[in-house]
Structure 1
Amino acid sequence: MPRTRPLPSNDYARRVAGQFISISETRLNTSPPRRLHLNVNILHSGFVPSAWRLPDADPRAFIDVAHYVRVAQIAEAAKFDAVFLADNASIADQIDFRPITALEPTVLLAAIAAATTHIGVIGTASTSYNEPYNIARRFATLDHVSGGRAGWNAVTTADLGSARNFGRDTVPVHAERYARAAEFTSLVKALWDSWEDDALVGDKAAGRFIDTSKVHPVAHRGEWFSVAGALNLPRSTQGHPVLIQAGGSADGRELAARHAEAVFSAAQSFDESAAYARDLKSRAAAYGRGPEAIRVLPGLTTIIGATEAEALRRRDELVDLIPWSYSLNRLAGTLGVAADTLKLDERLPDDLPLPGGGNGNHTFFHATLAQARTHGYTARQLIRALAGGGGHRVVVGTPEQIADDIEQWFKGGAADGFNLMPDALPDGLQDFVDGVVPILRQRGIFRSEYEGRTLRDHFGLQRPVSPHASADSGLTVNA
């Protein structure tokens, strides 16, 4: 695992930090060809709820670190940007039928980082039921442990089970969750930026370890939080973790526009995703951020066969292994209605309101409803089209067909890449790596080798500079 070496002098630290900035500036000035970004979302046994029932699947994979490491190593061998772990602070699925997200992401990602060398490690942590200092420290630690490969996916949490696990009888209202999230995220960034790059001196001869004038308390008092700071560890190789956001509501887009460097989105159509990307980048511009400040990465489930008929047969076999009662309950949960209001062989009710009076998950509600309305699906047809899932787009076909779809979205500006969710893991990912990746490389849109070691390198993002950097350090703050 990469290790951070102490710096022998301030001059040396300034030179190293300056090299990072020069590299970033050179990258921008030479305008390298745009490259597709691919992450794999390790949803335990796979995206399709019945994936754990396949003959080669291990029902205990959802709590087996070796399973996650194997998936990450397959993705790294294919030169993916990152692995991603979702999270939930409650039992939010029907555990009588399927495995759930159970292991805490940052602990699991540290184990993955120890077993890999290049691939990024991105984890989810909620702004609703955590404290900024703990999250800043946890992900900064993961960034050091991984050698600059960490990313934090900042989310708000809207399910009642999580609220009750943290002493609340109700879910905080949507506006309150996002007001807290905005202050939370700003504070985490301030803590990550509280050390200047050359604060760590490590001068053995002079007996001088830290230049304390370059470690800055955040001294924050806000509506939600009061934190003295500074953070208790220095900046990492990539400056600080990449900040990622997932949310499709107006409040979520505004949070992403201000802070996110990548966004995990959900869209069922090219036009919907292209409009989302335009809107997000327009909002970011209002904060003085450039068009390359954010990577838009929609979720994409792939079900692959040697022929289209074979792929469709695989999808149907997987869906038919899911009890219809489970699928109907899951769909009802996404839409925020009682399951008995949905009939398998009837279309969805008209005029469905936002879940929880607008207090539920906007992203998956809109994505699921768009799929149903666009195609006129009955509930049964919708469940099959979503492969039993909860709102992300599903593409079923041959490697060539899937590569065509990815290329169209990428070149047409609907996506900078994708957060892949193969139907089953690790087999579905291996099918993608063996069949689709070579085609993407032949078309010149996906890398054959890593060009750097950090997650920022993979995403083509600038290394952030502490806003406290002094004028004589030779450093400039990135916009």
Structure 2
Amino acid sequence: MRRDDQIKLGVFLHQAGYHEGAWRDPSVPANGGVDFEHHAHLATIAESAAFHFVFLADHLSVAEPDDASIARVSRNERFEPITLLSALSSRTQRIGLVATASTTYNQPYHLARMFASLDHLSQGRAAWNIVTSGSRFEAPNFGDRELPDHEIRYSLAREFVEVVKGLWDSWEDDAFIRDKQSGIFADITKLHLLNHRGNYLSVRGPLNIARPPQGYPVLVQAGASDTGIQFGAEFGEVIFTAEPSLDTGKQFYAALKARARALGREDDQVLIMPGIIPIAGRTKQEASEKLKKLQSYTHIDVAIGAADRWLGSVTDLRSMNLDSLVPKSLPQTNFIQSRQKVLLDLAAREKLTWRQLVRLVSDSHGHLMVVGTPDEIANVMVDTFDQRAADGFNVLPATVPDGLKDFVELVVPELRRRGKFRSGYSGQTLRENLGLKRPLNRFTQAGISSR
């Protein structure tokens, strides 16, 4: 199917901004992580610019490896995503609401019910960013000594997502007739029990809320290991990935689309939206000064802690000669395998020292960073889109609100001038605005009886 010729845009909402030093910037609210009005302001800015969605990441633990880095980061004071987005649904009208939730340390019934509720509250704007927990500190919070093996986590995730989708299909779209005269509230011929018995999960159903307005909230996926790519090809409708170069982005795009196509999926129903960190200035020098200022705010303990985490916690960077070259390989991690590979490939390609890689991680975490004028940033985005390395981007402002305002006021008009980004919303639901089809109910599609 022909691809839409316009770029899709999401914005990654971090309470301070994506750069590790962001919270120390004078323009950033120090208590932004627990300031609802701050988040509402950011969502309003994005909605006024017709962004497709806001995106919230999540971890089920404090993720830093030691007290030195814990003491200097702001990310450990923030709202739980579904709770925050439920509140934001009342302060926004059209923008999509993407919440991250783990399949490793949640129950399908809970998540199915919460995301269905968010979809109803927002009139069809909810999305689930599906992750398998990737931090070694999450396991002890749920009674485990260590995370399950990477492959087991994905195997569980497949079954988990199928169960959640089945629960969303518990009721047909018109099952709740609410007829006061007859006294019949629900037509039970349109009620379906899941009765799932699998390798990991046992769930009867039905869900005690009506089918979501979108059928299913939009399914987002962010894994890029080989297993993650296959999972995305099977389930993902929006794919969030880190691709710091055009060549690797094109390879990832082609590989994932080919796998999805082999599974019978249409290209325009799997949208690949890599992260981009735009630092915009009216001149190149102004943009560079913004980055230098953020780098000056980033303590070495924070930078090393971030690099350790994104490399999969398989190194002891504090004992390393930081001026030595990064090796081509490290022990395989059981945590975030795709990001370790992205960073090692980048280090090999650029012949980086450990010190340079640590700085790069604190700046971008391995995502594409563009520091320059609005024209330069738009050039990179349009070129990446036109060369089929992306269907859109998840914008990761280095600071908020100023970094987001810079992008909206400087870069968005340039994208519109080139005819590459819309000026308003075309539909009510997130699916409508992304061009994604509303899924049919599995039970009615298969002609299965209710009991």
TM over 0.5: yes
Give 1:393's match in structure 2, choosing from 368, 392, 402. 368
Aligned residue in 2 for 1:41: 12
Q: How big is the shift at 1:386?
A: 4.4
Specify the code of the residue in structure 2 equivalent to 1:342.
M
Equivalent residues of 1:301, 1:422 under 8 A apart: yes
Q: Secondary structure at the match of 1:160?
A: coil
Give 2:155's match in structure 1, choosing from 171, 175, 179. 179
TM alignment of 1:13-52, pairs within 5 A: 33-52=4-23
Give 1:90's match in structure 2, choosing from 61, 85, 89. 61
Aligned residue in 2 for 1:343: 321
Give 1:258's match in structure 2, choosing from 224, 230, 234. 234
Give 2:174's match in structure 1, choosing from 183, 194, 198. 198
Give 2:356's match in structure 1, choosing from 378, 381, 405. 381
Aligned residue in 2 for 1:12: none
Q: Secondary structure at the match of 2:138?
A: helix
Equivalent residues of 2:118, 2:126 under 8 A apart: yes
Equivalent residues of 1:316, 1:384 under 8 A apart: no
Q: Deviations over 1:39-91 (max 9, x none)?
A: 11111100111111111222111111111111100000000000010000101
Aligned residue in 2 for 1:61: 32
Q: How big is the shift at 1:253?
A: 1.3
Aligned residue in 2 for 1:352: 330
Aligned residue in 1 for 2:263: 287
> Using a 3 Å threshold, how does the CA distance of structure 1 residues 347 and 435 change in structure 2: closer, same or farther?
same
Aligned residue in 2 for 1:449: 424
Specify the code of the residue in structure 2 equivalent to 1:284.
A
Question: Is residue 329 from structure 1 mapped to residue 305 from structure 2 by the alignment?
Answer: yes
Aligned equivalents of 2:262, 2:148: Cα separation in 1:
28
Specify the code of the residue in structure 1 equivalent to 2:61.
S
Equivalent residues of 1:123, 1:151 under 8 A apart: yes
Give 1:245's match in structure 2, choosing from 210, 213, 221. 221
> Using a 3 Å threshold, how does the CA distance of structure 1 residues 400 and 414 change in structure 2: closer, same or farther?
same
Q: How big is the shift at 1:468?
A: 2.1
Q: How big is the shift at 1:298?
A: 0.5
Q: How big is the shift at 1:387?
A: 4.8
Aligned residue in 2 for 1:220: 196
Aligned residue in 1 for 2:43: 72
Give 1:429's match in structure 2, choosing from 400, 404, 411. 404
> Using a 3 Å threshold, how does the CA distance of structure 1 residues 317 and 114 change in structure 2: closer, same or farther?
same
Aligned residue in 2 for 1:276: 252
Aligned residue in 2 for 1:125: 101
How many residue pairs get matched?
Answer: 440
Equivalent residues of 1:200, 1:234 under 8 A apart: yes
Q: Deviations over 1:398-417 (max 9, x none)?
A: 11100000001111110011
> Using a 3 Å threshold, how does the CA distance of structure 1 residues 298 and 470 change in structure 2: closer, same or farther?
closer
Q: Secondary structure at the match of 2:289?
A: helix
Aligned residue in 2 for 1:150: 126
Aligned residues: CA RMSD: 1.7
Equivalent residues of 1:365, 1:391 under 8 A apart: no
Question: Is residue 310 from structure 1 mapped to residue 286 from structure 2 by the alignment?
Answer: yes
Equivalent residues of 1:300, 1:394 under 8 A apart: yes
Aligned equivalents of 1:211, 1:470: Cα separation in 2:
18
Specify the code of the residue in structure 1 equivalent to 2:116.
A
Aligned equivalents of 2:140, 2:363: Cα separation in 1:
27
Q: Deviations over 1:292-350 (max 9, x none)?
A: 22110101111111111221121112112111232123213322311135333332134
> Using a 3 Å threshold, how does the CA distance of structure 1 residues 62 and 258 change in structure 2: closer, same or farther?
same
Q: How big is the shift at 1:283?
A: 1.3
Specify the code of the residue in structure 1 equivalent to 2:41.
R
Q: How big is the shift at 1:471?
A: 8.9
Aligned equivalents of 2:27, 2:82: Cα separation in 1:
28
Q: How big is the shift at 1:36?
A: 0.9
Question: Is residue 300 from structure 1 mapped to residue 276 from structure 2 by the alignment?
Answer: yes
Equivalent residues of 1:315, 1:387 under 8 A apart: no
Q: How big is the shift at 1:194?
A: 2.0
Q: Which runs of 5+ in 2 are unaligned?
A: none
Segment drifting more, 198-207 vs 382-391: 382-391
Aligned residue in 2 for 1:113: 89
> Using a 3 Å threshold, how does the CA distance of structure 1 residues 80 and 88 change in structure 2: closer, same or farther?
same
Aligned equivalents of 2:92, 2:215: Cα separation in 1:
20
Q: Secondary structure at the match of 1:419?
A: strand
Specify the code of the residue in structure 2 equivalent to 1:215.
L
Equivalent residues of 2:20, 2:302 under 8 A apart: no
Specify the code of the residue in structure 2 equivalent to 1:45.
A
Q: Deviations over 1:345-399 (max 9, x none)?
A: 33213432322xxx12112112212221221122333344445342222111111
Aligned equivalents of 1:312, 1:86: Cα separation in 2:
27
Specify the code of the residue in structure 2 equivalent to 1:219.
N
TM-score, normalised with respect to structure 2: 0.94
TM alignment of 1:96-107, pairs within 5 A: 96-100=71-75, 102-107=78-83
Equivalent residues of 2:307, 2:361 under 8 A apart: no
Aligned equivalents of 1:232, 1:375: Cα separation in 2:
54
Equivalent residues of 1:328, 1:344 under 8 A apart: no
Segment drifting more, 88-97 vs 77-86: 88-97
> Using a 3 Å threshold, how does the CA distance of structure 1 residues 204 and 451 change in structure 2: closer, same or farther?
same
Q: Deviations over 1:10-37 (max 9, x none)?
A: xxxxxxxxxxxxxxxxxx8xx6843211
TM-score, normalised with respect to structure 1: 0.89
Aligned residue in 2 for 1:8: none
